[in-house]
Structure 1
Amino acid sequence: MRKRPLLQAFAALALWPAFTLPAQAQDFPPKKPVNLVVGFAAGGAADAAARLIAKKLGENIGQTVIVDNKPGAGGNIAHQFVANAPGDGATLLFGSVGPLAISPHMMKLGYDPVRDLAPITMGVNFPNVLVVHAGVGVKTLAEFVALAKKKPGGLDFASSGAGSASHLAGELFNARAGIETVHIPYKGGAPALQDLLGGRIASYYSTPATAGPHIDSGKLIPLATTGLSRPAFMPNVPTIAESGYPGFNATNWYAFVASSKTPKPLLDRWNLELVKVLNAPDVREQLLKHGLSPQPGTRDELARYMASESATWGKVVRERKISAE
């Protein structure tokens, strides 16, 4: 009788690889359609990029890749969904700077970006562009700052949501310029742009691709972009950094992550496939036309970048006393 527990233990040990090896050596691609989750509604920059990448990715791996839009809470709903997803490699997230590096400093989340989400590769980055309605009466960043100082609290700026990259860009510029423009959060870029075009708000830190047609029509005036260098999409618009605020840098970025429950071999394989897509000439050309710069890299590079961005924006959140409005 004493041998039975020992025999049972050996029997369990013998069966153990049968239950663990399939998770580590799972077939690639997954046997079911792949979900590429996006935290914003269809029609925006993130959605456009995700659909372009998903199409090429599906062709390369011979499996359907479905873009799954889960908008809301500044992208946090989508990020929590993927954090809770099975680690079978069939659910990926086109994550954004807000939920991955900003929101954790502003609110209590139902997930931890570092603990619950595993980096795969950086996707794209791009600056925002500070645009004003033509009726504001300013044509340069210097004129905008002068007007803001003349009327403290009299100018406002829109963002695509509290804790978004556009929100933090505005807060950072307020701090650097010594002005107080009032933040007006929206549930996405489309309603923000609509109110800006209608003259109901003064300014907006918009994506270049979204603002571009309205700049061309003369309805919006571009004052400056928020990256360290001028985007190819807007070569004639100066950066904030070159307009008297050296080193100013507030870029938007989207990166590929998955549930941290996903085995490392699958994460490494997804890195390989996504880097291949982002380096494809036809994909790069289309992304650049939308003002999005492809930034494929290693998993470790993304992890370090996310940590750096979290430290940078965490400091801004604390110093500006920013809350989830």
Structure 2
Amino acid sequence: MTIAAGRRAVIAAAIATPMAPRIARAAWPERAVRIVVAFPPGSSTDVVARALAQKLAEGIGQAVVVENRGGAGGNLGAQAVKAATDGHTLLMHSTAISVNPTLYRNAGYTLDDFSAVAVVATAPNAFFVHPSVPATTLAELLTWMRANPGAAYAHSGTGTTPHLGAELLFRTLAGVQATPVAFGPAQAATAVVGNQAPIGSTSLPPALPLIREGRVRGIAVAGARRDPTLPDVPTVAEQGFPGFEASTWFGLFAPARTPTEGVQRLLAEVPRAMAAPDLVARLAALSLTDPGLHGDAAAAYARAEAARWAEVVRSSGATAE
């Protein structure tokens, strides 16, 4: 063999060698997939994650395990997934994933640490009261709050849109003094049932059954239009605050280092899972709808939400450690 031919053989071998593992590599996922939920069991984020996990498992042919890692407004779960290196760990978070990097002095992550897979569901926020509060409309509630300055309202957690939306409505737009009290999303609704706080502000799903049962009184929904699950409860915009809208959305994210083939598989399988008729019906019963945002569109939405709520954080003076 000539020297030139030998060099060509070495170059060919060098090119071919790295390709061998790629050809032999098993298709993603190679094992069970874990979805870390950034909030406690029973939260809307948890409900969405568990509903999706079942359908996603059918599509990818591997088990999908849901693990709750609540704390610090969702930061602990985000930090845990950011640090994951197994390529099979995902994050289910709420709008707070966009808010917390501004709200907290050190959230422990930025949106750049994740690849957005999808915004899988969204729900309007809701304002409701304990039956002892003599108010059936938003105007009546604000009148009562002015007569009871500093009245507590239970919300889903510091930096969530139920918290920031209430601050925007009560303090900035209506000019009433209120005391925010942070609970978990589901716990905030039950806190109003127990009159630990006379007013509640959460996403609609945890409050919906309590409003229907008469255990709390629905005052307003914060969607762009009335919610079909509560057609008799008017929007905030209808009740004197045009353009007011505050919702909670839930997104699936992967660590930025997740293999490309994993992200691409998820971009194909998650929309299929979310389109399953029984899943659509199950979420609709909870006032949850799929906005159909995937990949780049989901990432752009998360960044737009970060910019939007950062303004509210600054104007309200909200902060968290």
Q: What is the TM-score with the length of structure 1 in the denominator?
A: 0.89
Aligned mates of 2:292, 2:89 — CA distance in 1: 19
Change (3 A) 1:28 1:173: farther
The correspondence for 1:228, drawn from 224, 230, 251, is 224
Q: Residue in 2 aligned with 1:118?
A: 115
Contact 1:83 1:116 in 2 (8 A): yes
Q: Which residue, 93, 96, 107 being the options, matches 1:95?
A: 93
Match for residue 45 of structure 1?
A: 44
1:316 to 2:312 alignment: yes
Q: Distance in 1 between matches of 2:82 and 2:20?
A: 23
Q: Following the alignment from structure 1 to structure 2, what is the Cα–Cα distance between the partners of residues 21 and 137?
A: 67
Aligned to 1:3: none
Take 1:190 and 1:298, find their aligned partners in 2: how far apart are those partners? 27
| In 1, Cα distance between equivalents of 2:158 and 2:294 | 30
Question: Following TM superposition, by how much is the alpha carbon of 1:189 offset from its aligned partner in structure 2, in angstroms?
Answer: 2.5
Q: Work out whether residues 203 and 247 of structure 2, in 8 Å CA contact, stay in contact via their aligned partners in 1.
A: no
Aligned counterparts of 1:271 and 1:18: Cα–Cα separation in 2: 25
Q: How does 1:180-259 map to 2 (within 5 A)?
A: 180-186=177-183, 188-259=184-255
Q: Which amino acid aligns with 2:36?
A: V
Contact 1:85 1:91 in 2 (8 A): yes
Deviations 1:84-106 (A, max 9, x none): 11262x111112111x2111111
Q: Which amino acid aligns with 1:292?
A: L
Deviation, 1:210, is: 1.9
Listed one character per residue, the Cα deviations across residues 146-182 of structure 1 (whole Å, up to 9, x for unaligned) are 12233332x2211121112211111111212222211
**1:173 maps onto 2:174 in alignment:** no
TM-aligned CA distance change 1:166 to 1:16, over 3 Å = farther
Equivalent AA in structure 2 for residue 318 of structure 1: R
Counterpart AA for 2:95: V
Any idea what the Cα deviations from partners look like across 1:25-80, whole Å, max 9, x if unmatched? Answer: 95434111010111112222221221111111111221111111111111111111
Does 1:17 find its partner at 2:18? yes
Residues 54 and 64, structure 2, Cα contact 8 Å, conserved in 1: yes
CA distance in 2, matches of 1:138, 1:20: 67
Match of 2:269 among 253, 266, 273: 273
Distance, in Å, in 1 between the alignment partners of 2:13 and 2:302 is 41
The amino acid that maps onto 1:159 is: H
Provide the residue aligned with 1:63 in structure 2.
62
Structure 1 runs not aligned, ≥5 long: 1-5
CA distance in 2, matches of 1:257, 1:37: 10
Is 2:138 aligned against 1:137? no
3-state SS of 2:121 partner = strand
SS of 1:109's equivalent in the other structure is coil
Whether the 8 Å CA contact 2:165–2:246 is kept in 1: the answer is yes
Contact 1:279–1:296 (8 Å) recurs in 2? no
Q: CA separation in 1, counterparts of 2:110 and 2:209?
A: 38
Q: Is there any run of 5+ residues in structure 2 with no aligned partner, and where?
A: 1-6
Deviates more, 1:43-52 or 1:219-228: 43-52
What is the CA–CA distance in structure 2 between the aligned matches of 1:21 and 1:318, rounded to whole Å? 48
Closer/same/farther in 2, CA of residues 19 and 127 from structure 1, 3 Å limit: farther
TM-score relative to the length of structure 2 = 0.90
Does the C-alpha gap of structure 1 residues 26 and 71 become closer, same or farther in structure 2, counting only changes over 3 Å? Answer: farther
CA contact (8 A) 2:208 2:286 kept: no
Deviations 1:269-295 (A, max 9, x none): 201100111112111011111221122
Q: Residues 20 and 26 (structure 1 numbering): CA distance in 2 closer, same or farther, change over 3 Å?
A: closer
Whole-angstrom CA distance in 2 between matches of 1:83 and 1:32: 19
Question: CA–CA distance in 2 between the matches of 1:151 and 1:45?
Answer: 31
Q: CA RMSD, aligned part only?
A: 2.3
Query: How many percent identity over aligned positions?
Result: 33
Aligned residue identity for 2:211? I
In structure 2, the residue corresponding to 1:205 is in which secondary structure? strand
Deviations 1:253-309 (A, max 9, x none): 001110011233321220110011111211101111122112222311111111110
Is the CA contact (8 Å cut-off) linking 2:113 and 2:255 kept in structure 1?
yes
The 8 Å contact of residues 36 and 89 in structure 2, kept in 1 or not, is answered as yes
Query: Residue 29 of structure 2 contacts residue 262 of structure 2 at CA under 8 Å; is this kept in 1?
Result: no
Task: Read off the aligned partner of 1:59 and give its amino acid letter.
Answer: E
Deviation per residue, 1:173-194 (Å, 9 max, x gap): 12122222111112x1233233
Report whether the alignment pairs 1:152 with 2:153.
no
Q: For residues 25 and 312 of structure 2, what CA distance do their matches in structure 1 show?
A: 42
